[in-house]
Copies of this chain bind each other. A is one copy, B any other.
Amino acid sequence: MTEIMDTRQFFLNRSTRRSYTRRDIPDPVLNDLLLQASHAPTTGNMQLYSVIVTRDPDLKRQLSPAHFNQPSVTAAPVVLTFCADFNRFVKWCRQRGADPGYDNFQSFMTAVLDTAILAQQFCTVAEMAGLGCCYLGTTTYNAPQIARLLDLPPMVVPVTTLTVGYPDGDGVEVGRLPLDGWVHSEKYVDYTPAAIDSIYAAKESRPDSRRFVAENGKDSLAQVFTDVRYTREANELFSAIFRDFIARSGFPFPD
């Protein structure tokens, strides 16, 4: 019973950790966490992923610009690049007289889901072992650069990255939307203006949100997202780059 309560509190209180001590993660520890994570669900037990472990400081420095120099890349003892991987599976098929039909968007999406599920399971088991993790969403922005640095062959696409280390300092509680803001019973109930106001009220009134708005000279928190953090210009640029990379990697999109 105590154990169940502890687990619940663990999940409610977890948070992203971007700062790490200098303590290393020994290979046996990392490999055991990867082993635990590999028992996460995977489509048809195909395990359509690969993980690249970066420990070499020089390689971390080279990866850093692909992640817009977020400091956790060089600060973490371990950087894990999670890749959607049909290369291995397709090679196995060809070697066994089977004709693989995985050079398409649906297969790409299947591998992306397998990869994200693995990454999150790794994040959970690592955090339970006292480590801290930070996802790098920049992975899909600069996939071509990352693929070049890590020697990724065709049909291997970097999907997300985790920096991992023993956390330094305390985690920051960032809050979440209320449950009824994103859970729908039986059918999706679209949001009225009043519902939007109510769902985002707590988020908007947080001191850190108010500070973001002030620091960026904006009128609203939403404008910090649209004008500063995730702009149309960047999204459109990186959409074109990523789509082109995926197609060149061997997953041509249907026209």
Contacts and interface: CB of A to CB of B under 8 A. Distances in A.
A54 interface: yes
A68 interface: no
B50 A91 contact: no
B177 A47 contact: yes
A61 interface: no
Interface string A169-198: 000001111010111111111110100110
A182 B92 CA distance: 13
Chain copies in the assembly?
A: 2
A182 B182 CA distance: 35
A215 to B, nearest CB: 16
Nearest to A156: B188
Given A11-B36, A227-B98, A235-B106, A182 B91 contact: no
Contacts of A125: 7-8, 11
A92 to B, nearest CB: 5
A24 interface: no
A50 B183 contact: yes
Nearest to A176: B38
Interface residues of A, number: 124
Given A56-B186, A97-B219, A98-B227, A43 B239 contact: no
Interface in A197-255: 197, 199-200, 219-223, 225-227, 229-233, 235-236, 238-240, 242-243, 253-254
A164 interface: no
Contacts of A99: 226-227, 232
A135 to B, nearest CB: 5
A119 interface: yes
Contacts of A200: 92
Contacts of A49: 182
Contacts of A95: 193, 196-197, 222
B140 A106 contact: yes
| CB-based closest 4 A-B pairs | A101-B232, A116-B116, A98-B222, A96-B222
